[in-house]
Amino acid sequence: MGQAQVGVLLYLHQLAIEKMNKRVLFILLLAVQLPATAETPSADLILFNGKVFTGNSARPHAEAIAIRGERIIAVGNSDEIRALAGPATKRVDMHGHLVIPGLNDAHYHLSIYPADAINVELKSPDPGWEELRDALAAKAAATPVGTLLLADVSAAIFNDSRVDRAALDQVTTDHSVVLRTFTGHSEILNTPAFLKVGIGENAIDPKGGRFERDATGRLTGVVREYAVLQVARRLADSTNDTDAQRELQHKLAQAAEWGITSIQDMSNAIEPGRAVRLLSKIPTPIRIRIIRMPPTTPSGRDTQEGRSLPAHPAPLLRVSGTKWFLDGVPLEFTFDPRGSHKDSSDKGFDESVRDLPMTFDAVELKAMLHESRKFHDPLLLHVAGYPAAAAMLTAMEETGGAPVWASRRVRFEHGDGLLPDLIPRVKALGIVVVQNPTHFAALGEQVTKVAQPMKALLDAGIPLALGSDGPLNPYLNIMLAVTHPRQPAEGLTREQAVMAYTLGSAYAEFAERDKGTIEPGKFADLAVLSQDIFTAPLPELPTTRALLTIVAGKIIYDAKVLSQARP
Ligand SMILES: [Zn+2]
């Protein structure tokens, strides 16, 4: 700040003390604001010589950024921004690297497993039962008795009726075995695993969930939907705080290395009060929004869990919103017996989306809407199939329609079944759709003609956000959002994908005033990247890493590639 400007400010201060006419004061203030940078105090941190993708349509590209405290104070060319540096300003030369608004993973599940649990890695991408069985047997032979063995399995194994509790018991009864489908909506357990989580033959199904049984009433090992949540919660509960903290810390450090500055966490495995406690203790380096994702009991949904938690329990932590599963996932068919849709691969993914059974009835959907209004609590809904989407749209239309709902940003997570006839209704009700691009690749090989729309949503003016709901790597997700392997015509441009992952995700959490673009006044949440994701060959996108990740004006990850200096 120049001496002349300091003089003007002192003079104004004097005038204010003398209770000067406010209108005159306002005019004088306007006059000193005219030179764009004159009013700006010196920055704490400047980044220059970069290629800034701001996400701000008024000024999409720039070279440099100035930060003071937790916010951005200026965006411009390198000379303009260097002029804002004072004697104490930290300076980072970006050497031409790309900088983007910090990525905001709109749909993630922070999870914790007992520290001695072992993930059984499988060699082929889509193994059959024989390969899995041999891998489990080998792992069991090499690990101490009592160890929990986990394996992620595809629909091919899940739908193979030979794979059940008895088959897993034949491999080992000295170890707990939990097979998880990639989607997290179904599992197959062996007998020791049931014992470990305290679920016995007499267990009663929780509402919206199922412990599958054979004709004699015995548990088959197959666990569905809200019953899977029960298993996940009990495994997380059996993990002590020290191990849990270490696991979360590791995950958040990974996020920072990818330039993720916000995660919206669906708190299903970890009870939200415990999540708050653990994340406050670490403390979290990035912003986390904890979304309640309560379990169900045989008598109904737990509408109270996490309700009394403070909205801002720690500096980068927020608690907001409640999420419910309205259905399962295509190709796993919610509660339908395994194998009853053998022809699904012939009928294709589109048909499996059209037929997907719901977890709750229409009365329950209206109850969720009622609770959202009563508690002023954002509502997030897992909606993968057409029937659940259509039923929820009807429930919203019958409880006030657009006048009540359009401003409440009800979220449809996944939205695979938003077929063309539903799109105008989704638009009218102000629904935000959160897509998860890895799902385009993970659920089998079928292409789709209408399911999993994405570009069609943007074309209709529906707000779109992106979240991983799986592998956290945002550049893998951006690559898949662009290529959309199931339906390439629904792929986004790279800019659209980045915008959905930043501003779109911020909008999906009512935070677009503070986050999602690089512009003065917003939080200084951003990432300098190792390569230009707008021009690098698409298959190389997943190798992208952050060189520098900044949250609330603080460097929380530094790959030590860019030099920092003070003048
Ligand atoms: Zn999810």
CB 483 within 8 A of CB 441: no
Question: How much distance in Å is there from the Cα of 180 to the middle of ligand 1?
Answer: 14
| Domain spanning 239-515: CATH superfamily | Metal-dependent hydrolases (3.20.20.140)
- Select 33-100+550-565's CATH number: 2.30.40.10, 3.40.50.2300, 2.60.40.10, 3.40.605.10: 2.30.40.10
Question: How much distance in Å is there from the Cα of 122 to the middle of ligand 1?
Answer: 23
- Distant-in-sequence, close-in-space partners of 450: CB < 8 Å, separation ≥ 6: 350, 419, 420
Question: How much distance in Å is there from the Cα of 506 to the middle of ligand 1?
Answer: 18
d(CA 8, CA 241): 56
Question: How much distance in Å is there from the Cα of 326 to the middle of ligand 1?
Answer: 12
Question: How much distance in Å is there from the Cα of 184 to the middle of ligand 1?
Answer: 8
Tokens of 144: 């101490």
Q: Which of 361, 364, 373, 427 is nearest to 400 (CA)?
A: 373
Tokens of 90: 């930290």
Question: How much distance in Å is there from the Cα of 25 to the middle of ligand 1?
Answer: 54
Query: Which alpha helices (H) appear in 484-532, and where do they start and end?
Result: 494-499, 505-507
Question: How much distance in Å is there from the Cα of 565 to the middle of ligand 1?
Answer: 42
CB 415 within 8 A of CB 453: yes
- Distant-in-sequence, close-in-space partners of 485: CB < 8 Å, separation ≥ 6: 440, 441
CB 55 within 8 A of CB 495: no
Question: How much distance in Å is there from the Cα of 75 to the middle of ligand 1?
Answer: 36
Question: How much distance in Å is there from the Cα of 501 to the middle of ligand 1?
Answer: 16
Residue with tokens 């499996």: 352
Question: How much distance in Å is there from the Cα of 467 to the middle of ligand 1?
Answer: 9
CB 197 within 8 A of CB 227: no
Q: Please tell me what DSSP assigns to residue 420.
A: G
Tokens of 242: 């020290």
Q: What per-residue confidence (pLDDT) applies to 39?
A: 54
Question: How much distance in Å is there from the Cα of 257 to the middle of ligand 1?
Answer: 22
SS3 459: helix
CB 256 within 8 A of CB 556: yes
Question: How much distance in Å is there from the Cα of 481 to the middle of ligand 1?
Answer: 17
Q: Per residue of the chain (567 residues), what is the pLDDT tens digit?
A: 333 443 444 344 443 434 444 444 444 444 444 444 445 569 999 999 999 999 999 999 999 999 999 999 999 999 999 999 999 999 999 999 999 999 999 999 999 988 889 999 888 777 889 999 999 999 999 999 999 999 999 878 888 999 999 999 999 999 999 999 888 899 999 999 999 999 999 999 999 999 999 999 999 999 999 999 999 999 999 999 999 999 999 999 999 999 999 999 999 999 999 999 999 999 999 999 999 999 999 999 999 999 999 999 999 999 999 999 999 988 787 888 787 765 545 567 888 889 899 999 999 999 999 999 999 999 999 999 999 999 999 999 999 999 999 999 999 999 999 999 999 999 999 999 999 998 887 655 677 888 899 999 999 999 999 999 989 999 999 999 999 988 999 999 999 999 999 999 999 999 999 999 999 999 999 999 999 999 999 999 999 999 999 999 999 999 999 977 665
Q: What 3 state SS string does 329-398 have?
A: CCCCCCCCCCCCCCCHHHHHHHHHHHCCCECCCHHHHHHHHHHHHHCCCCEEEEECCHHHHHHHHHHHHC
Question: How much distance in Å is there from the Cα of 45 to the middle of ligand 1?
Answer: 37
SS3 255: helix
Residue with tokens 């069991």: 140
Question: How much distance in Å is there from the Cα of 410 to the middle of ligand 1?
Answer: 16
Q: What per-residue confidence (pLDDT) applies to 36?
A: 45
| Helices H / strands E in the chain, number of each | 20, 27
Rounded to the nearest angstrom, the gap between the alpha carbon of residue 336 and the centroid of all alpha carbons in its chain is: 28
d(CA 470, CA 320): 21
Question: How much distance in Å is there from the Cα of 69 to the middle of ligand 1?
Answer: 34
Question: How much distance in Å is there from the Cα of 266 to the middle of ligand 1?
Answer: 7
Q: Is the peptide bond before 283 cis (omega within 30 degrees of 0)?
A: yes
For domain 118-236, say whether CATH 1.10.240.10 is its number. no
Question: Which run of H or E residues covers position 290?
Answer: strand 287-292
Amino acid at site 355? D
Question: How much distance in Å is there from the Cα of 505 to the middle of ligand 1?
Answer: 15
Q: Please tell me what DSSP assigns to residue 185.
A: S
Question: How much distance in Å is there from the Cα of 403 to the middle of ligand 1?
Answer: 29
d(CA 359, CA 281): 36
Question: How much distance in Å is there from the Cα of 145 to the middle of ligand 1?
Answer: 32
Question: How much distance in Å is there from the Cα of 263 to the middle of ligand 1?
Answer: 13
Q: Is the CA virtual torsion 7, 11, 14, 19 positive or negative?
A: negative
d(CA 255, CA 282): 15
Q: Please tell me what DSSP assigns to residue 176.
A: E
Tokens of 111: 């999870």
Question: How much distance in Å is there from the Cα of 213 to the middle of ligand 1?
Answer: 26
Q: What is the pTM of this model?
A: 0.90
d(CA 545, CA 191): 42
Q: How is the chain split into domains, by residue range? A: 33-100+550-565, 118-236, 239-515
Question: How much distance in Å is there from the Cα of 413 to the middle of ligand 1?
Answer: 8
